[in-house]
Structure 1
Amino acid sequence: MRIRPARAEEATALTELVLRSKAHWGYDAEFLEACRAELTIRPDEIDDRRIVVAEDAQPGVLGVASLEGTAPQGRVGLCFVEPSAIGRGVGRALYSHVMRAAREFGFTWITIDSDPNAEPFYRRMGARPVGRTPSGSIAGRELPVLEVVFVPRRDSWAHAWTEGRRPVHLGNVA
């Protein structure tokens, strides 16, 4: 499995993957249709939302995730796995990739508005619950909010020199 940036021409297929993944939890067609607008991935937002996909040679795209926002605060906007690939480590790989990218881009605080069924996954991955927020799609429904806070590394001259931002090394100069 490899993780790569999503491509604009994949937006429709990725939206359908997201909806299939959501349906895995037993939501009916009416519920999914109510969520469609919020879960739709548009071609023009792939780069801004930092959307990535996990893929395998067979059967192709296995999952999708995103890291959204501007450092130091961001959010996991998407983390969905093809139902046939659930339980195979795809979600873990996507989540880990997004968290590594968050650190690399200088994020210190990440929030996740989680589906209630996905909350145990995020908790196993180290996110901690901090509250609830109204659903953007279903009136009266609340979603768990989780967070990940990165403790800055203060163990090197690079941290002091860059104030915690990622250093760029050119020979022996950063």
Structure 2
Amino acid sequence: MREMRIRPARAADAGAITELVHASSAYQGGYASILDGYEVTGAQVEATVTFLAEDDAGDVVGCYSLVPGDAELDLLFVADAAQGTGLGARLVRHMLERARELGLTSVRVVSHPPAEGFYRRTGAVRVGTVPAKPPKVPYERPELRWNLVADRTGDVFV
């Protein structure tokens, strides 16, 4: 496996992020409609906390985008070839560290239905369901949340 590094995204990375998103086999078939016409913009990258994972050849193999004002994970993608390497969990840990640094007490994610188990394994708890919004999103999506504050015993969740 190649070495992966995580770095802040720049506006100029928007095209590579868009390519990564559209290349995902997780959004084919019945899930493809959500990406119809979707494009990550440079303004979006600059307005969010967005990081890329690159391999040692400089290829983008993962990314995430955190919207601090909404305390929401907007994007998390890992290239198909990098699935199962632990990169997704590493990106979530990185994102949660940034969220804590920003003073967030929790982070919400509206999950792609097949990704719910992954998010649960990273410590997110299901808090609801987001209804379908046909025709673009013809299916319900799980809503999950990572709690970043200490409980009464001082244990921090996640």
TM-score, normalization by structure 1: 0.76
Ranges in structure 2 where 5+ consecutive residues have no aligned partner: 153-158
Contact 1:66–1:77 (CA under 8 A) maintained in structure 2: yes
Match of 1:96 in 2: 93
Match of 1:42 in 2: 41
Following superposition, the deviation at residue 124 of structure 1 comes to 0.2
Q: Distance in 1 between matches of 2:76 and 2:62?
A: 7
Q: What CA deviation, in whole Å up to 9, does each residue of 1:32-68 have, x standing for no partner?
A: 354234x421011212111110111136111010111
Q: Distance in 2 between matches of 1:126 and 1:47?
A: 28
Match of 1:131 in 2: 128
Larger radius of gyration: 1
Contact 1:64–1:79 (CA under 8 A) maintained in structure 2: yes
What amino acid is aligned across from residue 47 of structure 2 in structure 1? D
- CA 69–27 in structure 1, closer or farther in 2 if over 3 Å, else same: same
RMSD, aligned α-carbons: 2.4
Q: Distance in 2 between matches of 1:151 and 1:34?
A: 33
Give the 4+ runs in structure 1 shifted more than 6 A: none
Q: Distance in 1 between matches of 2:125 and 2:44?
A: 28
Contact 2:49–2:68 (CA under 8 A) maintained in structure 1: no
What amino acid is aligned across from residue 20 of structure 2 in structure 1? L
Ranges in structure 1 where 5+ consecutive residues have no aligned partner: 155-174
Q: What CA deviation, in whole Å up to 9, does each residue of 1:64-88 have, x standing for no partner?
A: 1011132xx5011010001111111
Match of 1:161 in 2: none
Give the alignment of 1:87-166 within 5 angstroms.
87-135=84-132, 138-152=136-150
Equivalent residues, number: 149
